[in-house]
């Protein structure tokens, strides 16, 4: 008996804003366990991770990764269980995370096996390995440690503060003795960031139409200026933060979700980089694999002990993935956006 | 008998473009040697250095240094000789460089004495201590070594390539085994940069009305992309270079002369910092005093041996300083802009 595998393909590249018509749901067959080739592993996905970087990969533009191929399964992180294995390192029943893409099952072999990692779900829930103890958490850890490198007592600003990356950045910065200001969209997210995550302050960017207004609000909650910025949004948010940066400030550029629809988003005052001797650096977490073990160890320990809080928005069923993804790009999620498949 | 000291003061702050009316020439008296207080040194200036940073200091805006005070002598580097001294470390006849400002004589005491440095003019001409073996040369050395940090075989782009800083950047990068492309204003400067300074190529930015055109020209002479950029100009020049940067490229932001008249100069594509994982860092040479001795040693040795070429544009007499300064801001100088006072 063969199982059906539902998959979501990239059907067309967005022109401006992405829509559900850019995706197509198809059905294929999953190979029977007896039909696996030696070295192959069959994984059933429990959770699919939806992340902002995917929007950039839908464009046919230069970026750090080649564009997502048209007609191919959308790429993405997944968490699930091994349901059949012809590989000595993977046993049926193992809980695993990997890059299985937007589908219910994946046959993993070749180089992709290197990304398939067995995880311990006794103290950390499986889904957290796609969030706080996965790529988003490590992204937070790497950008904060490597670029922002804050000292105790410094002020760090994080945009998209209630998101999977931003919430980890802020809590890690607090653990390092910093004053932390979040920027998030809406009063509920701001309340969560302060009351639950323990940030010192949070600004609702929806209350501000331009960078000058947001900058003035930031000055009120960070009167001593900003020493470090972990930037996930770009555009007017980055402009406002830059206007408040102290001399020798560091900006880790992790994402520019404000510009993922390909509209131009200039930086208003690059002269500040000169006059305040700022460092502005882009990074991609997958290029710093040497830091992952140390990062994952701290993140897992903090999640297990309850010191690192996170929140998830979970869509049900593969067919819900496109709408959930588009909603996330507009900030309708709250915390880590997942799709539950099982 | 007292000597007359002519001085140029900042009379008013520019509104937009600076003009000669922003300056005022005044005469004062120089103290007689017998009237010097203990610890004071009287220096007669032979050369006054004119540098782009002075334009930024004329504005009453946040920058790395406090604004130039209204009604005070314009700040600036000077080279001259000690004509009277009541300080044990300084003898009459010493050739010295310092920060004496836009005037013919300076009484140096207090903290300013720390900047007064005796120089050896047996192998390096006095004026070169204001250029290739002075602040501009060290600026080139520090930004190149500390931020661009090029490896042999990499491609480095330098704007304002025939200027005091740019010409040193390019020659030092060539000495480190790089391919070097200059950007300069006009065919004469470009020919000089390639034929005399030994750059691999030079682009005349005056032939290009927009960043796209300049970027295409750059791609022709640097088909393998750009790994390092020493940026003196900003604006469309920086936009064009950024569009050609390879992954993990480094940009040392040394100056943005294109925006010194206070008009906004946005950065067109900050997203490239993310997608190409660029590092963009501003720096000020005076904040890296620990690097000066090593830099000056290499620069002096290269000038003395003829390996480091430079060119000077010399205006005659203090009264010529304002017009020479304004001309430099528009690129009418060729190499280091000096004013000869003796």
Residue B192 and residue B105 in one domain: no
Q: CB–CB of A184/A177 below 8 Å?
A: no
Residue B190 and residue B233 in one domain: yes
Q: CB–CB of A233/A159 below 8 Å?
A: yes
Residue B8 and residue B123 in one domain: yes
Q: Taking CB atoms and an 8 Å cutoff, what residues of chain A touch B276?
A: 62, 64, 282
Residue B106 and residue B241 in one domain: no
Q: How far is B239 from chain A (nearest CA, A)?
A: 10
Q: How far is B17 from chain A (nearest CA, A)?
A: 17
Beta-carbon separation of B267 and A265 below 8 A? no
Residue B254 and residue B150 in one domain: yes
Q: Would you say residue B301 lies in a domain? A: no
Q: How far is CA A73 from CA A7, A84, A105, A136, A275, in A?
A: 6, 21, 11, 22, 47
Q: What pTM was estimated for this model as a whole? A: 0.90
Residue B26 and residue B151 in one domain: no
Query: Which residue in B236, B271, B284 has the most chain A C-beta atoms within 10 A of its own C-beta, making it the best mutation to test that interface?
Result: B271
What percentage of residues in chain A have a pLDDT greater than 90? 88
Q: Would you say residue A151 lies in a domain? A: yes
Residue B87 and residue B189 in one domain: no
Q: How far is CA A58 from CA A62, A75, B188, in A?
A: 11, 10, 46
B263 touches chain A (CB under 8 A): no
User: Which has more confidence, A279 or A56?
Assistant: A279
SS3 A99: coil
**Structure confidence at residue B288 (pLDDT):** 94
A281 touches chain B (CB under 8 A): yes
Q: CB–CB of B51/B136 below 8 Å?
A: yes
Across the interface, which of A56, A270, A287 has its CB nearest the CB of B265?
A270
**Structure confidence at residue A260 (pLDDT):** 64
A36 touches chain B (CB under 8 A): no
Beta-carbon separation of A274 and B253 below 8 A? yes
Q: Would you say residue A317 lies in a domain? A: yes
Q: Would you say residue A293 lies in a domain? A: no
**Structure confidence at residue A262 (pLDDT):** 65
Beta-carbon separation of A274 and B282 below 8 A? yes
* CATH code of the domain covering residue A140: 3.40.50.720
B255 touches chain A (CB under 8 A): yes
Residue B204 and residue B76 in one domain: no
B275 touches chain A (CB under 8 A): yes
Mean pLDDT, residues A7-30: 96
**Structure confidence at residue A64 (pLDDT):** 73
Q: How far is CA B192 from CA A207, B136, B168, B197, B307, in A?
A: 55, 19, 13, 7, 15
Summary mean pLDDT of chain A: 95
**Structure confidence at residue B261 (pLDDT):** 66
Q: Give the pLDDT confidence of A50-107 residue by residue, as tens digits.
A: 998 899 899 887 777 778 899 999 999 999 999 999 999 999 999 999 999 999 999 9
Beta bridge partners of residue B300, listed in sequence order: none
Q: Would you say residue A299 lies in a domain? A: no
Residue A162 and residue A127 in one domain: no
How confident is residue A265, by pLDDT bands cut at 50, 70 and 90? confident
Query: Which residue in B270, B278, B281, B288 has the most chain A C-beta atoms within 10 A of its own C-beta, making it the best mutation to test that interface?
Result: B270
Q: Taking CB atoms and an 8 Å cutoff, what residues of chain B touch A264?
A: 268-269
Cα–Cα distance, A330 to A89 (Å, whole number): 40
Across the interface, which of B62, B277, B282 has its CB nearest the CB of A273?
B282
Beta-carbon separation of B276 and A64 below 8 A? yes
**Structure confidence at residue B16 (pLDDT):** 87
Residue B186 and residue B115 in one domain: no
Total of domains in chain B = 2
SS3 B36: coil
Residue of A nearest to B281 (CA): A279
A208 φ, ψ (degrees, to nearest 5): -130, 125
Beta-carbon separation of A266 and B267 below 8 A? yes
Q: Taking CB atoms and an 8 Å cutoff, what residues of chain B touch A234?
A: 270-271, 274
Q: Give the pLDDT confidence of A140-158 residue by residue, as tens digits.
A: 999 999 999 999 999 999 9
Residue of A nearest to B238 (CA): A270
Residue B106 and residue B226 in one domain: no
Q: Give the pLDDT confidence of A156-191 residue by residue, as tens digits.
A: 999 999 999 999 999 999 999 999 999 999 999 999
Taking the CA atoms of chain B, what radius of gyration do you get in angstroms?
Answer: 20
Q: Would you say residue A305 lies in a domain? A: no
Q: CB–CB of A315/A337 below 8 Å?
A: yes
Task: Using 70 as the pLDDT threshold, list the residues of chain B that sit under it.
Answer: 1, 259-262
Beta-carbon separation of A277 and B282 below 8 A? yes
Between positions 41 and 60 of A, the ones with CB within 8 A of B are: 56
The b/e string for B70-98 (b: 16+ C-beta within 10 A; e otherwise) is: eeebbbbbbbbbbbbbbbeebeeebbbbb
Tokens of A15: 């022109």
Q: Would you say residue B299 lies in a domain? A: no
Helix/strand/coil (H, E, C) string of B256-312?
Answer: CHHHCCCCCCCECCCHHHHHCCCEEEECCHHHCHHHHHHHHHHHHHHHHCCCCCCCE
**Structure confidence at residue B3 (pLDDT):** 85
| Closest alpha carbon to B78 in B106, B99, B103, B109 | B99
Mean pLDDT, residues A279-304: 96
Q: CB–CB of B76/B324 below 8 Å?
A: no
Query: Which residue in B67, B282, B284 has the most chain A C-beta atoms within 10 A of its own C-beta, making it the best mutation to test that interface?
Result: B282
Beta-carbon separation of A267 and B267 below 8 A? yes
Phi-psi region of A16 (alpha: psi -120 to 50; beta: other; left: phi over 0): left
* CATH code of the domain covering residue A120: 3.90.180.10
Q: How far is CA A209 from CA A193, A206, A216, in A?
A: 21, 7, 12
What range defines the domain where residue B157 resides? 135-286
Cα–Cα distance, A284 to B221 (Å, whole number): 29
| Closest alpha carbon to A243 in A278, A197, A295 | A278
């Amino acid at each position: 008996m063969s199982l059906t595998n539902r998959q979501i393909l990239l059907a067309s590249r967005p022109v401006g804003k992405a829509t559900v018509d850019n995706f197509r749901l198809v059905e294929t067959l999953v190979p029977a366990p007896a039909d696996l080739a030696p070295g192959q592993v069959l994984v059933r996905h429990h959770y699919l991770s939806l992340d902002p970087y995917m929007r950039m990969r839908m464009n046919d533009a230069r970026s750090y990764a080649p564009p997502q191929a048209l007609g191919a399964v959308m790429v993405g992180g997944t968490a699930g269980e091994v349901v059949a294995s012809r590989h000595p390192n993977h046993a049926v029943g193992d809980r695993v995370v990997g890059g299985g893409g937007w589908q219910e099952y994946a046959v993993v072999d070749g180089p992709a096996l290197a990304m398939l990692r067995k995880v311990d779900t006794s103290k950390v829930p499986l889904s957290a390995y796609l969030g706080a103890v996965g790529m988003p958490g490590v992204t937070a850890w790497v950008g904060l440690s490597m670029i922002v490198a804050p000292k105790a007592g410094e002020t760090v600003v994080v945009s998209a503060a209630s998101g999977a990356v931003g919430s980890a950045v802020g809590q890690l910065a607090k653990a390092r003795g910093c004053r932390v200001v979040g920027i998030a969209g809406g009063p509920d997210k701001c309340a969560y960031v302060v009351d639950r995550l323990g940030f010192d302050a949070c600004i609702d960017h929806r209350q501000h139409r331009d960078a000058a207004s947001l900058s003035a609000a930031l000055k009120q909650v960070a009167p001593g200026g900003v020493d470090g910025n972990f930037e996930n949004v770009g555009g007017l948010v980055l402009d406002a933060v830059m206007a408040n940066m102290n001399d020798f400030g560091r900006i880790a550029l992790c994402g520019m979700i404000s510009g993922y629809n390909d509209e131009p988003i200039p930086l208003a005052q690059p002269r500040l980089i000169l006059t305040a001797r700022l460092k502005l650096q882009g990074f991609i977490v997958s290029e710093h694999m040497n830091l992952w073990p140390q990062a994952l160890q701290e993140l897992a320990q903090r999640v297990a002990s309850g010191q690192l809080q996170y929140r998830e928005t979970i869509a049900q069923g593969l067919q819900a993935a496109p709408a959930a993804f588009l909603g996330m790009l507009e900030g309708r999620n709250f915390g880590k956006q997942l799709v539950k498949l099982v």
